A and B are shown apart, each in its own frame.
Chain A
Amino acid sequence: MNYDATVVGAGVIGSLIARELSRCNIKVALLERCNDMAMGTSKANSAIVHAGFDAKPGTLKAKFNVEGTALMPELCKTLSVPFKPVGSLVVAFSDEEMETVKELLERGVKNGVPGLEIYDREKLREVEPSISEEAKGALWAPTAGIVCPYELTIAAVENAVVNGVEFKRNFEVKSIDFDGNEFTVSDGKESFNTKVVINAAGVYCDEIAAMIGDSSIHTVPRKGEYMLCDKTIGGLAKHTIFQCPSKMGKGVLVTPTVDGNLLIGPSALDIEDKEDTATTAVALESILETAKKSVPVLTTREVITSFAGLRAHCDRDDFIIEESEKNANFINVAGIESPGLSSAPAIAVYVKNMVAGKLGATEKADFNPVRKDPVRFRHMSNEERKAIIAKNPAYGRIICRCETITEGEILDAIRAPAGARDVDGVKRRTRAGMGRCQGGFCGSKVVELLAKELGVEINEITKFGGDSKILYERTK
């Protein structure tokens, strides 16, 4: 198979790059080692669109953050991805921290962040009533927002596929050879021939680069653990509430999510194992304690799940978005940690322009930027519900009781371009199993629907691909 451009890694970065590339008259492949897109950093992060005041002026982080955040609302609209411009607060708890907050404001102004303002204690308590009495003031950033990172990734891939991109799952790149003209990207069984490679492999970007002899990328997986709380306390934070940043990152935040839950985290620990997304009792306890400094009423009572994600922290302390020193047609998009999600839309445009320049590609006339809004029964009015069930009765059968997700929505998720192939894939696309019972009731129904749609026995269905099977053989 011959391709013009091949993107390695279907995280939010790779997926948005693939979608941007699908604007052009070129053949594009998107390779993903897992059973679904958004399986690494993109599914487990803070889901924040940062305003852009954190990064040092002049860095790629600063540039792409501000540009990406500006593109985000429109992009989310086009791809029908929930985005809420809730704004963010960096809260100071001492006079010293008030100084830090002022420095952040100055840095933000240099980075071109609009609308920044310092709030005093009274104003802060007025806009964020559950904030601690200890808070002295805060930096207010109105352009910050929240987005669903895996939904953005899923939507980007769906739209890319509709526009002709080949999405290949369960393809773990084992070797990349260059014959002087073209690369051969192989998983040991199948291979893709391509003129340009885009390395967007997240925590594995160093290993992918090393396959062409590029050893310039030094990243370490940095683990962040989170707790997700029930919607009943989703209103505790009206905005994304940060504490003052430290060397290890932006610290523990408390934020609403686009779905109305409350998210607390992350911890930050550099580790060695790129697969270690286990949560730890120590970190979970510590993030709750730290978060309580911002919002004292938090307890574990409302926690419905916890999770951990890894981000690729780079020793250059900035994003790496450049041609490899070994090969100009091999583009590294590496070390994308926070504010990677916020920067993704701008990085995608930038990389597309690089690739298009190399290939002399032009934009095609029939590119369709729009991803159709999936049916979301829970958000519909009763009149809309009547109409949609009349059209398709599958929307009349509720599968997930906690989140009010219908059979029709689950079937849509499986049948979509680059659709769901496992239980977690259905969950990320529809929210079935994301509520307070965490799939206790609907899990087995989702398994049944997947098996039926994919034409396999129910014990072949997995939680997230690989050996993550749910059932063994028949009892008799």
Chain B
Amino acid sequence: MTKNITCVTCPMGCAITVELSDSGEVLSVKGNTCKRGEVYAVNECTHPQRSLATTVKVEGGIHNVVPCKSAGALPKEKIFDCMEEINKACAKAPVALGDVLVENVCNTGINIVATNHCPAR
């Protein structure tokens, strides 16, 4: 069985072909232009992951929200659960870029970190 995948690791968007055995084992990866592409393609066939960027509510800041991202990739199927947990969080201004806003989101072992500063009002 072959699977055609568009790599989303970087803006190149390589078209990768993965050959899988009947049991779902990866036999070969073709079409990638870098090692990251190969890793992505294998992951995409076995346990797809996505990074998540959104915002966290801020109290007392110059804005209502501060942008954040997952410090690593999250299981794709957990994205909406993670959104739900992140939307419940609330940070207190001032927030600094890099601050951990949600620890171990949805037990994924991944932290949600601020990607900008939000000074106090």
Contact = CB atoms under 8 A, between A and B. Distances in A.
B64 interface: yes
Interface string B65-102: 10000000000000000000001000000000000000
B116 to A, nearest CB: 16
B50 interface: no
B57 interface: yes
Nearest to A458: B64
A189 interface: no
Q: Which 9 pairs show the lowest CB-CB distances between chains A and B?
A: A476-B87, A476-B57, A474-B64, A475-B65, A475-B55, A476-B65, A476-B55, A476-B56, A475-B87
Interface residues of B, number: 6
9 contacts: A474-B64, A475-B55, A475-B65, A475-B87, A476-B55, A476-B56, A476-B57, A476-B65, A476-B87
Contacts of A476: 55-57, 65, 87
Q: Is the interface of A mostly helix, strand, loop or mixed?
A: loop
A432 B61 CA distance: 28
A28 to B, nearest CB: 44
Interface of A: 474-476
Nearest to A474: B64
A476 B64 CA distance: 9
B59 to A, nearest CB: 12
Contacts of B64: 474
Given A476-B55, A476-B57, A476-B65, 6 more contacts: A474-B64, A475-B55, A475-B65, A475-B87, A476-B56, A476-B87
A103 B81 CA distance: 77
Interface in B35-76: 55-57, 64-65
Nearest to B86: A476
A444 to B, nearest CB: 12
B22 to A, nearest CB: 45
A7 B70 CA distance: 61
A149 to B, nearest CB: 39
Contacts of A475: 55, 65, 87
A474 B56 CA distance: 12
A42 B36 CA distance: 62
A476 B65 CA distance: 8
A344 B60 CA distance: 53
A476 B68 CA distance: 14
A475 B57 CA distance: 9
Contacts of B57: 476
B81 to A, nearest CB: 15
Nearest to B57: A476
A109 B87 CA distance: 74
A476 B101 CA distance: 15
Contacts of B55: 475-476
A124 B9 CA distance: 64
Contacts of A474: 64
B56 to A, nearest CB: 8
B115 to A, nearest CB: 16
Nearest to B90: A476
A476 B88 CA distance: 8
Nearest to B89: A476
B12 to A, nearest CB: 30
